[in-house]
Amino acid sequence: MNLPLNISALSLQLPPASPQFIDLYRPNSDAQAMHATVQELTEALLAPAAAVSPKFFYNALGSKLFEAITGLDEYYPTRTEAGIFEAARTHIAATLAEAGIHQPCLIDLGAGNCAKAMALIPHLQPRQYVPVDISVDFLRDAAEQVQNNFPALDIVGLGMDFSAGLALPGEVQAHERVFFYPGSSLGNFHPGQALQFLEHIADPAQGKARGLLLGIDLVKDTARLEAAYDDALGVTGAFNKNLLLNINDLLGSDFDLRQWRHVALFNARESRIEMHLEATDELTVRWPGHERGFRAGERIHTECSYKYTVPGMTALLRQAGFNHIEYWTDPNSWFAVFWAAV
C-alpha cells in the first residue's frame, strides 16, 4: 500500500540531513566570472546615466538588511503577501491538485531566508525544494534551516544569478516543476524583460514545468509606495548604500558612503518606484584602470520596482504563454498572488 508523503510527520521522525548545495555564482571563485562582473560594473558606472543592477544589493550584509526591511511598519509587501498566502494556502494547494499537480519540484526564485516557502511546504508537499538566490552564503544557511524543519525533504540549493538565465542543473528534478517567485521581485525587471523572463519559465525546454506561483505588488497611492522604500529608520537607505560597499569589494573602487544619499520616488508615468544614490558633493570615484566624476546631485540608478494592476499582470502572463490564471488579493487590494498554469 502506497501512503502519501507526509512531510510534517516525517520531520518528527528523521534526524536532520544536509541539503545539497550547488554554487553557480560566486564571482570571486572564478576568474572568468569575476572578469564579467568587473566589466558589467565598469560599463554601468561609466554610462552617461550611471545605473547598477539591483542584484548587487545582495551580498551577505545586503541580504540581512533586506530581511530587516521586511519587518518595518512602512514595508507592507511582505506581511500583506504573507496574509494572502495564509488565507489562500488551502485554496492554492487545491488548485494545484485539481490541475493534477502532486508533490511538485518547488523552485523558489530569489529565496532569501526561505521563510515564504517554509510556510507553503506543509500544504504543497513538494517532492523536491530548490531555493535559488544570488547571495550564496545567506542561502546556504537558510537551506540548512529548511532541512532542519523538514528532514525528509530533498533540497537542492542553487547559488545562481537567474536574472542572466535560468539553466537549471541536472540535480533539479525535471518532473512537475512549479516555479515560486514571491515578493514582487518580478517588478525589478522592465516590463519587456519581465515578459521574456516569464516566457522562459513557460517554455517547454524548462522540463515538465506546470506553472508559476507569483507575488506582485499592485498600484496604490504614492505616499504609501514611497514610504515603503524610504522608511523613517533609514534601513532602506542603508540597504541602498551597502550596494556601494559591495561594488568596492567586487571592483576595487573607492566609493565613500558619506558622500551619497538615498533617494526613493514613484515615477507615475512608468508605474514604478525608483531608487537612486545621489552624490552630495562633486566627487571622483576611482577603480583599477578607470575613474568617474560625479556632479553634486548626480545620481546612480540602483533599482526599479514596477507596480502592476491585476488586468495588466493577467495580460502579461497570457502573452508569455500561460493559460489558466487565478489570483488572490488582500482586502485592500495592495498586493496579489497569481497562479499561472502552462
pLDDT (tens digit, 9 = 90+) per residue, 290-301?
A: 999 999 999 999
Q: How many helices (H) and strands (E) does the chain have?
A: 10, 13
pTM of the entire predicted model: 0.88
Do 202 and 209 form a contact (C-beta atoms < 8 A)? yes
Pairing of the two strands 209-217 and 260-267: unpaired
For residue 2, the 8-state DSSP code is P
pLDDT (tens digit, 9 = 90+) per residue, 95-118?
A: 999 999 999 999 999 999 999 999
How do the domains of the chain map onto residue ranges?
Answer: 48-69+222-306, 75-164+172-220+313-341
At 276, the pLDDT band (50, 70, 90 cuts) reads very high
Do 61 and 199 form a contact (C-beta atoms < 8 A)? no
Selecting from 3.40.50.150, 3.50.50.60, 3.10.20.30, 3.40.50.1970, what CATH number does the domain 75-164+172-220+313-341 have? 3.40.50.150
Do 163 and 196 form a contact (C-beta atoms < 8 A)? no
Q: Residue 28's pLDDT is what? A: 54
Q: Which residue has the higher pLDDT, 129 or 209?
A: 129
Neighbours of 251 (CB within 10 A): 20
Do 203 and 320 form a contact (C-beta atoms < 8 A)? no
Share of the chain above pLDDT 90, in %: 82
